[in-house]
Structure formats: C-alpha cells, structure tokens
Amino acid sequence: MAVDTPLLDPLPPATRRQQCGLMLSSLLIFSVGLLTLTGHRSQRSLPISPGVDHHRTPPARGVREGVSAKSSPGFVGEEERVSYNWTNAMFNWQRTAYHFQPQRNWMNDPDGPLYHKGWYHIFYQYNPDSAVWGNITWGHAVSRDLIHWLLLPLALVPDRWYDVNGVWTGSATRHPDGNIYMLYTGSTGNLTQVQNLAHPADPSDPLLLHWAKNPANPVLLPPPGIGPKDFRDPTTAWLGSDGLWRVAIGSRVEKLGLTLVYKTKDFLSYELLDHYLHSVPGTGMWECVDFFPVAVNGTKGLDTSAAGEGIKHVLKASLDDTKLDHFAVGTYDPVEDLWTPDDPKKDVGIGLKYDYGRYYASKTFYDQEKQRRILWGWINETDTEFDDLKKGWASLQTIPRTVVLDSRTGADLLQWPVEEIESLRLRSYCFEDVLVGPGSVVPLHIGSVTQLDIMAEFEVELISGKKTGEENSCDGGAVERSSLGPFGILALADASLSELTSVFFRPVQTTADAVTTYFCTDQTRSSLAPDVFKVVYGSSIPVVGDEKLQMRVLVDHSIVESFGQGGRRVISSRVYPTKAIYGDARLFLFNNATDANVKVKLKIWEMNSAFIRPYPLDQL
C-alpha cells in the first residue's frame, strides 16, 4: 500500500564518489532520524487491491481457459479504476535495457530453451496482437551469449484443432542422434489440454527458423481421473537405463499436486506409469514442472539423463494456487521411477522457492557447450492492464541463471547470473570499509543508477549488549528497527527519499548463541503511484560458518533482481517509480539497526544495453 510518511528525513549534501581502483579513505556518514511505520506486511502472493469491488471484478485472464491467472487480481476491469497520470517518458523509462523482452505486446512462460549449432534459443509464450494475455503463440529469439538477443519470426502458431486455443508451455529434448523433439501443450476448441510434438523443419539450420507439427498430434490426451484442464507443460525428457525416455507432466487430483510420468521410445507412443513420480497433498495444480539432476559436489551442470552416485535430483513445480515456483532436492530411483525429498518438511510446495519475489513458470536446460544448467523465469507486470495497453508491452524474462547444488547446506540451490552478463559492464566504482552507523544513510554518487550491477559485502559490529528474543523478519520492511538490522541498499530512490526500493539483510538475535538472518526487498515505497503492487518480499537465509553477508543486485529500470549469499536466496521485484527515474534516480546505503554499526565494501558497475532487436533476415 502507498505510504505518505517519508522513510528518512531529508539528507544533507552527498559524499564524494570514488572510481574503482581508488581506496575510499574516509566517508562522512550522515545520521538521520528514521521514522517507524507500521502496517507493512510481507506478501508471499499477490495481495488484494484496496478500493476495488472484487464482487464485480471478472476472473483473471487465463483462468477460464485452464491456466494460471495471467492478469493481476484486483487489477482487471480497469475501466472502474482511475490510473495514475503516467507520461510517455515514464512508460519509456520502465522498459528494460538488458533483460529479454520482445519489442511489443504480451509475453509469459519461457519455452524449449536449447543450444544448437552455435546459437542459444529461447521460445516464449507470446500474444502478437496485444499487450494482454491471449492468442498464445510461440515467439522465438537467438543469441550467441544469452544476453544479446535477436528476434526471429514466430515459431508455432495456434492453427490446428489441437492447439486452436493456444500453443502453451513446452520443452525441448535433444536426442543423441541429433534430432530435436519439442513437446508442448495445446488447448483444443473445447479447452481440453493435450500434448503435441513438433520438429525443426530443417535440423541443419542453426537458427531453426521453421517448425513442423507432427501429423500424429495430439500424442497424449488427459488420462482417466485427470481433468481436461489439469494436464499440461511436459518436461524435457530423460533417458532411462532401459533405453526408454521419460516425460513428466504436471497435474492434480482435487488438491493433491502431482507429477505424471510417461515412457516412450519414439515420442509418438507413450505408456503412463501406474504411480506418480511424486505428489504433495494440499498443493493444488502443478504447472511447468521441471526435473533435473545436480552434482552433490562440483560446479558443472549435468545432462538431464544423468543419474547415479554423487547426484541428487531437483523437482520443481509452479503452483497455480500460490503463483510461485517451489522446489525440493531429493533422490530419484531410476528403476522404480520414484522421487523422494531429502527433507519431507521442505517438500515441493511447502518448502523452498526459486525466487521469493515476482517470478513464475521457470524452466531449465542443459547447456552442453559450457556444461552448465541454465534457468529461465518469467516476471510479469505489477501495474494495471490499462497501463500495459497504453505502453504497448507487458512482461520480461530474468537474466538467465546458472544453477548448482549448494554444497555447504546440501539442501539449497545456488542461482547466479550467467557470466556473459559481465560483458555489459561499463564504468566501475569501488568503496572500501564504509562505516554506516545506526539510523544512517550514505548517498553514493556514481553517475547513472538505472542500469547497475552491484556487489556488496557487509560486516556487523555490535555496539551494545546483545538483545535476545527478537521476533523481527522481513514483514516489517526496511523501516522496522531491530538491534542488528535492517541494513542494505536503497535502489531507484529520488533525492528526497520519497521513492525508494530497499534490498536488505536483517540478522535477528533469537537466543544468546543463535542469529537468524533474513534477506528481503521492500517495495512499499518504490512508487508514488497508487495503482501498482508495493509489497515486502523475503525469506530467512542460511549463513554458514564464517560467511560474510553478501548481496548482488541487478538494477535494470523497472526490475530489480537481488541475490543473497551467492544466490542461496533470490528476490525479483518490479517497481514503477514516478520521480526516481532517468537522471533523478539515486543510490544509497542505509542502516536502520539500533545497536550495530555496519561496515560495507562495494563494487558497482554501470551496465550497457543488450540492444535486443530483430535478426537481419534479409542478410541470410
């Protein structure tokens, strides 16, 4: 919700900036009074918008057709709302510079990512006609480096009876013989979900420009006991020791979320296993299921068919009920085709999440070129459809992330932006041993702050006795003070701090010998506009041994991606400032602890644009 009281009092003149390579010998720290605000609560799913008559609000887009909501609850039926007075300059600023998005219109789930003959390919759910969900086709783009993308013509369109209501989510499987099998969900004229097969029309084409739908489609229909709208999103297939491929598909039986598994030899004829790969009561429909191996020790990714000693398997589901991507690490029995979570208390849907912010419908693929597993994820808008239609586009994809098992905890995944993003780094700035006292902020003058890659390390210095029994978390946001936190950065802030997005740690001294640390993003003051979601995201974060508190923050106009402790926790946020844009945006450090100093080390890069544009087909 919008809050009118400033987080901080007005600042005195800012400190000097230092270019990277120069030690910051001293910084004058300005102590300012922090006003305690109440009423901010952490949101794990979309909140209800105040001021909207929800009895009159129609269902979100996509629900009638049998997929998760593709418009924001409470932000449909915009003819009944008064939009903020956005200008074209504001809308233009919101468009990202180095995250993947098409030139116009609606985008959602990533589909069928793969590496082929020197090119990375991403397909994606796309509406070629509008900036809202509908008429779903597959867009297509290629890149040499996962960052600089070239847009290609549409790959698959809804032109058959088995996909007339949409070419929905699918996955690519690369056969050892070099053939590519693309399985995808189609929605029929009566809204039944079926699975279909497509092939490259010319497998020798590095760009895979043309695709052919198999004449045997649909290759799979909903089995008995599964609803016609509860059968979607086939995974990349994995090869068993019996020489047969396995494909997993998400589903449900009432509130039992589950994964079906089929065996196939040729991707045309299938046998349904008589048991689920896994299921979890009370979790509802599982969408966009993903299943892949990770090495217990090591930093390399594994082919999807890898199994055996020293390997765990990750099972992930996008939960229709929560609109979040949940995962668990466990053990796969390739003989019985059963997966068991290592910790039942952290099972799929009740434990860990890929991303604790705005993130959904993710998909991984194995990059055989660099032996790594790459994760894609969709981030949609949190403004109104009315505004999306005015600006002419909606949604983007995260920066692709590598995924490995966290060897220090054994239960978490480490997600990290692909190394190729470093090619966008421009001017850099270093700050050493910046001391930020309780109730203080430090302005960091570093030039433009709307496209940044920020690396920050924090050390906490207690200046009074320990206070045990505190029960703070992310819920109170950046303004709720406790003895050891919160502290972090204020991104996309204006000079008066009337707008800001806080990314912070909050250590909490739960007992004399135990500290629980939280990693959070507070959007409640990210915009003066009343018709955008402004919530607090976050989670507790394991801090192992002598680890220092570290964060990496990617700022790209209206998206802020934050990585805590090497990617052990990730939070993606969409923000829509009205004042903190272009040259009026600022960056700050802050410390809202009551009993601790914080010493900070930073390295910050301004980031270039990825110059995403159409492929010059006329030059082929």
Active site residues: 109
Side-chain half-sphere exposure of 289, counting CA atoms within 13 A: 30
H or E element at residue 90: helix 88-94
Q: Assign 386 to helix, strand or coil.
A: helix
Closest C-alpha to 206, from 369, 374, 399, 402: 369
User: The dihedral of CA 597, 606, 613, 386: what is its sign?
Assistant: positive
Distance, in Å, from the CA atom of 587 to the CA atom of 591, rounded to the nearest integer, reads 14
Give Cα 141 distance to the centre of its chain: 19
Distance, in Å, from the CA atom of 209 to the CA atom of 214, rounded to the nearest integer, reads 16
User: The dihedral of CA 333, 334, 339, 341: what is its sign?
Assistant: positive
Distance, in Å, from the CA atom of 478 to the CA atom of 75, rounded to the nearest integer, reads 26
DSSP 19: B
Q: Residue 157 corresponds to which amino acid? A: V
Q: Assign 433 to helix, strand or coil.
A: strand
Distance, in Å, from the CA atom of 134 to the CA atom of 131, rounded to the nearest integer, reads 9
**Residues in contact with 317: Cβ distance below 8 Å, sequence separation at least 6, in sequence order:** 250, 257, 259, 283, 286, 287, 288, 289, 290, 325, 326, 327, 348, 349
Distance, in Å, from the CA atom of 191 to the CA atom of 220, rounded to the nearest integer, reads 15
Distance, in Å, from the CA atom of 84 to the CA atom of 78, rounded to the nearest integer, reads 12
